[in-house]
Amino acid sequence: MKRTTTRLADGRELIYYDSRDDAVRDTLDRRPLQPAVSASEVRHNALLDEHVGYAAHRQTRTYHPPADQCPLCPTHGDRLSEIPADSYEVAVFENRFPSFGGDVGRCEVVCFTPEHDASFASLSPEQAGLVLHAWTDRTAELAGHPGVRQVYCFENRGAEIGVTLGHPHGQIYGYPFVTPHTERALRSVAAHKERTGGNLYDELLAAERAEGRRIVLETDTWTAFVPRAARWPYEVHLYPRRRRVPDLLALDEAERAGFPAVYLELLRRFDRIFGEGAGPTPYISGWHQAPFAIPDREDFALHLELFTIRRSPGKLKYLAGSESGMGAFVSDVLPEAAADRLREVAT
C-alpha cells in the first residue's frame, strides 16, 4: 500500500491511500481558495464534568449539493472538488468546516470510494481493507498531534442521521478531550478492576459468547453481538475475538485480514433489516479506541459500535424528553429480537 501526502489550495492536508505502490498523486488543487481558518472553541461544563465544542463557522458548510457538484467526487475538467485527482481509491483530507481544529483537535474526512452512488457495503473486501489501513494510519498520526487526546473514526450514513453529503464517506475526529462516553466506560472498567481484579470488557464479551443468544456473527478473529442493554433499536458491537487490544494500531495481521468480510456482511444485513422497499438503512458506525496517555490504557478494549435510529419501516427512534433531557434511554426493540432479525437476514 502507498500513502501520498499533499496540500489543497488553502493549505489543508490531503492524503491518498493506494493499493499499488506505483500510484502517482501529483495533481494540484486549482481552486482559488483563501487560507483555511478554524474558529473552534471548547468549554467545560463543570456540573456534568464534560466538554462542549463550539464551531460557529460550520453554519456555512456545504449542504446537500446536487450530485454533479459533489465536493467528494474526483475532479473532472472544470468541475473542481476537494479531491484534485481525476480518480482515487481512498482519500483523507482536513475538514474545511471542522468541529475541532488548530490547537483544539482535528477533524478529517475519509472518502471510501470515488463512486458517488456506492456505499461502504458495496465495497470489495480489498477496498474495505484499504479503508481500515487509512483509519489505522490516521490514528497513528493523530496520536502525535499535541491537541488530540482521543481518536474516533466513524461513518454517518443517511439523511435521517443528518448527513449533508451523499457521497460514501466517513470522518475522523481527533478530540482535544476524552469524550463523555469513554470517560464513563473507563470509570466502570476501573471500578470493576478495583472490586474484582478482572477486566469488565473481557467478562462482558465472554458472557455474550457463553450465552450465545445475542451473537449475530462470529469468525476466528471477530465476534459481533447485540448488547444485552442496547440503547438503539438495532445495535451491534464488534470485538476482536481472541484478545483485548486498546486501538487499531494493535490489531494483528489475522485480525486485519478478517475484518472486511465480517464488517461488510454486517452492513449488508443492516440494509435488509426492514425488507425490500424500505431503502438503505441509516446508521452510525464508529471505532471506540483508548484515549492517549491515560493510566491503565491496556485495560480498554477496542471495538466498533454500529447502530441505526430506524425502529421499523418508515419509523425513526427519536430522542425525545427522556433520552435528550435525562439521558435515560427507552428502546422499542428487545435486544434478543434485534439479534434474531440480524441472523434471519444473513446472506
- Residue 202's CB: how many other CB atoms inside 10 A? 15
How far is residue 281's CA from residue 286's CA, in Å, rounded to a whole number?
16
Between the alpha carbon of residue 283 and those of residues 190, 246, 311, 345, the distances in Å are: 30, 24, 11, 17
The dihedrals phi and psi of 235, each to the nearest 5 degrees, come to -140, 130
Cβ–Cβ under 8 Å, residues 248 and 135: yes
**DSSP single-letter state for residue 83:** B
Q: Taking the mean position of all CA atoms in its chain, how far away is CA 102?
A: 21
Catalytic pick from 51, 64, 169, 192?
Answer: 169
**DSSP single-letter state for residue 8:** -
Three-state secondary structure along 122-143? HCCHHHHHHHHHHHHHHHHHHC
Q: CB neighbours of 109 closer than 8 A, spacing ≥ 6?
A: 72, 82, 92, 93, 94, 95, 169, 170, 171, 172
Q: Say which residue the cell 484515549 belongs to.
A: 291
Cell numbers given for 335? 435486544
The CB-based long-range contact list for 55-62 (8 Å cut-off, 24+ gap) reads: 55/97, 55/98, 55/99, 55/100, 57/97, 58/97, 58/98, 58/99, 60/97, 61/96, 61/97, 61/164, 62/97, 62/164, 62/165
Q: Three-state SS for 16?
A: strand
Cell numbers given for 180? 463523555
How far is residue 187's CA from residue 185's CA, in Å, rounded to a whole number?
5
| Whether residue 169 lies in the annotated active site | yes
Please name which of 48, 63, 53, 310 lies closest in space to residue 183, comparing C-alpha atoms: 48
The residues annotated with a catalytic role in the active site are: 169
